[in-house]
Amino acid sequence: MWKWLHPYAKTERAHQLAGTLFPWFALPGLILFTLGTVWGLVFAPADYQQGDAFRIIYIHVPSALLSMSVYASMAICGFIGLVWQIRTCYMAIAAIAPVGAVLTFIALWTGATWGKPMWGTWWVWDARLTSELILLFLYFGIMALYASFEDKLQAGKAVSVMAMVGVINLPIIHYSVEWWNTLHQGATISKFEKPSMAPEMLWPLLINLLGLALLSGALVLQRLRNEIVMRELRRPWVINMLKEQ
Amino acid sequence: MIRVLNAIVKREFKLAFSGSFDFALPLLFGVMVISLFPLGVSPGPEMLQKIGAGVIWVSAILASLLGLEKLFREDFRDGSLEQLRLSGQPFAVILLVKVVVHWLITVGPILILSPLFALFLNLTPLMFEALFLTLLLGTPMLSLVGAIAVALTLSLEKGGILLALLMLPLFIPLLIFATSAVNNAQLQLNYNGQLGIIAAMLMLAIALTPWSISFAVKVSQN
């Protein structure tokens, strides 16, 4: 498997692979996300307690979940990059961080708009909200750190360390609703238990989750391709490729 | 090994107290920040008691942020950090010792003066006890975790603001637990739980950060 996997560490192969995978992520992602959103926002039944306001869950929960898993994937990239000295992983971190920051921002924003009708306030200093805000700052820190180095190889190593240090925040976000039991409601869907949600409400949520995950993947792939081209501008294969177009 | 570490400790102290006033600047900065709050918020004793612990903690965090900036900078510039790395002694342990000495010199005075701060902000003796314990356990963690970010930004000219952006998010959980311990003390409740969590974070930091700091310094030295 190692022999099969190893060529992809080279930027040229990674660029090709990202190009091949991109349509497979982008198209289903777009279709599923549209389907899930329309289903969730228009056709799913209204909640007996929260009324129509609950529909924001179809944007809020997928983006919040993904904001964390995107961070985890970034930290894994950092780990692989540092251990096996793979430059492509550093570029992947640079590609992932802004996508994650946007997801985190969407989660916070939709959360605030959900909080206004439900809790009567845009923002409370609740454990989960605060830790999600910290996550946003972590993303910003990583983007700023990467941008401020002239030498991008060094920048990649630095952000890898920073990304791995920030992983400590992920369990804090995830378990914050259980540990502190504050205003934010507990988990609605979980892998191991029966979801506390009616199936006709649950399906659009799951579809949206998958759709947004694929869309984020597509964005990351495209950003990775750009990053590789920008970093490797002097390489013959990039010059050839640009000439052909 | 012990002899080398001894020499490093002596060198750090000598450098800190040799004529320059730098070591006291974070402390003065912290005092300034604390004294701004009664003027800015309101000088009423109940109000100050309510916000006191948070104010002291925030100014301790800002002061240690200010102090940390200088942690490795001079040694990195004049090359002595490289010499230490090449000395054949375990680099992580050397850096740990440097961080601990730096903590003693810059944050130690804040701890010593903390009764005065508590008096300023009208904290009860019980609250002061909680505040002191959380500072004692929490600030070393600030220095250890902050040192990673400092080491990463060594080769950059404009460290300051970037450093704040990198470090402050990591300090927020500590701040939450520390101030909640003091709040419990204000209500005369038990705060062992919060102290335990802070102590656990400190243990984890002592175990893991020296290796991260030494790796980060190596990244900066390229």
**Which residue in the block uniquely carries the two structure tokens 């009423």?**
B44
Range of the structural domain that residue B56 is part of? 2-221
Q: What number of residues does chain A have?
A: 245
pLDDT, residue B9, reads 87
According to the 3-state scheme, what is the secondary structure of A119-147? HCCCCCCCHHHHHHHHHHHHHHHHHHHHH
Mean pLDDT by 10 residues, chain A (245 residues): 72 86 91 89 76 82 91 92 88 93 93 82 78 90 90 89 87 72 62 63 87 93 91 84 82
Look at residue A189 in the predicted model and tell me its pLDDT: 59
Instruction: Give the pLDDT confidence score for residue A179 in this predicted structure.
Output: 65
Residue to substitute from B142, B156, B161, B204, interface A, most A β-carbons within 10 A: B156
Of B71, B53, B96, give the one whose Cα is nearest residue B194: B53
Q: How far is B217 from chain A (nearest CA, A)?
A: 10
Per the structure, how many domains does chain B have?
1
Q: Which residues contact A65 (CB under 8 A, 6 or more apart)?
A: A209
Confidence of residue B193 (pLDDT cuts 50, 70, 90): confident
pLDDT at A193: 56
In a domain, A104, yes or no: yes
Q: Is B149 an 8 Å CB contact of chain A?
A: yes
Domain assignment present for residue A57? The answer is yes
- B152: which 2 tokens? 């990463």
Residue type, B34: I
Nearest-neighbour CA in chain B from A220: distance (Å): 23
Using CA atoms, how far residue A114 sits from A53, A60, B39, in Å, is: 7, 9, 37
In a domain, A14, yes or no: no
pLDDT at B106 over 80: yes
pLDDT computed for residue A104 by the predictor: 94
Sign, CA dihedral A109-A111-A114-A117, equals: negative
A47 — phi, psi (to 5°)? Answer: -75, 145
B25-68 pLDDT tens trace: 888 988 898 888 888 887 788 888 888 888 899 999 998 888 88
Is residue A205 included in any domain, yes or no? yes
Mutating which of A85, A130, A148 best tests the B interface, going by the most B Cβ atoms within 10 A? A148
Residue A123 within any structural domain of the chain: yes
Strand, coil or helix: A47:
strand
Nearest to B162 among A127, A145, A161 (CB): A145
Per-residue pLDDT, A180: 64
**Which are the contacts of B101, defined by CB distance < 8 A and separation ≥ 6?**
B8, B9, B12, B13
The identity of residue B122, as a single letter, is N
Give the whole-angstrom CA distance, residue B47 versus residue B53.
Answer: 11
Cα dist. A121→A109, A111, A114, A126, B99 in Å? 13, 11, 9, 12, 43
CA-CA distance, A163 to B135, in Å (whole number)?
27
Residue of B nearest to A158 (CA): B152
Helix (H, G, I), strand (E, B) or coil at A51: strand
Can you give the pLDDT at residue A194? 57
CA separation for the pair A35, A26 (Å, rounded): 14
Q: How far apart are CA B141 and CA B184, in angstroms?
A: 22
Tokens representing residue A19 in the block: 């190009």
pLDDT, one tens digit per residue, over B80-94 is: 888 888 888 888 999
Q: Which residue has the tokens 């003390």?
A: B185
Whether residue A10 lies inside any domain: the answer is no
Candidate from B156, B158, B212 with C-beta closest to A161:
B212
By CA distance, what is B208's nearest residue in A?
A: A165
3-state SS class at B175? helix
Mutating which of B155, B211, B219 best tests the A interface, going by the most A Cβ atoms within 10 A? Answer: B219
Chain A residues contacting B, CB < 8 Å?
Answer: 82, 127, 130-131, 134, 137-138, 140-141, 144-145, 148-149, 151, 154, 157-158, 161-162, 165-166, 168-169, 172
Rounded to an integer, what distance in angstroms lies between the CA atom of residue B11 and that of residue B32?
Answer: 30
Range of the domain at A45: 21-244
pLDDT of A172 reads: 77
Q: Does B222 touch chain A (CB under 8 A)?
A: yes
How confident is the model over B154-189, as pLDDT tens digits? 888 766 788 888 888 888 888 888 888 888 888 888
The residue in chain B having the minimum alpha-carbon distance to the alpha carbon of residue A168 is B170
Tokens linked to B169: 């998010």
Task: Count the domains in chain A.
Answer: 1
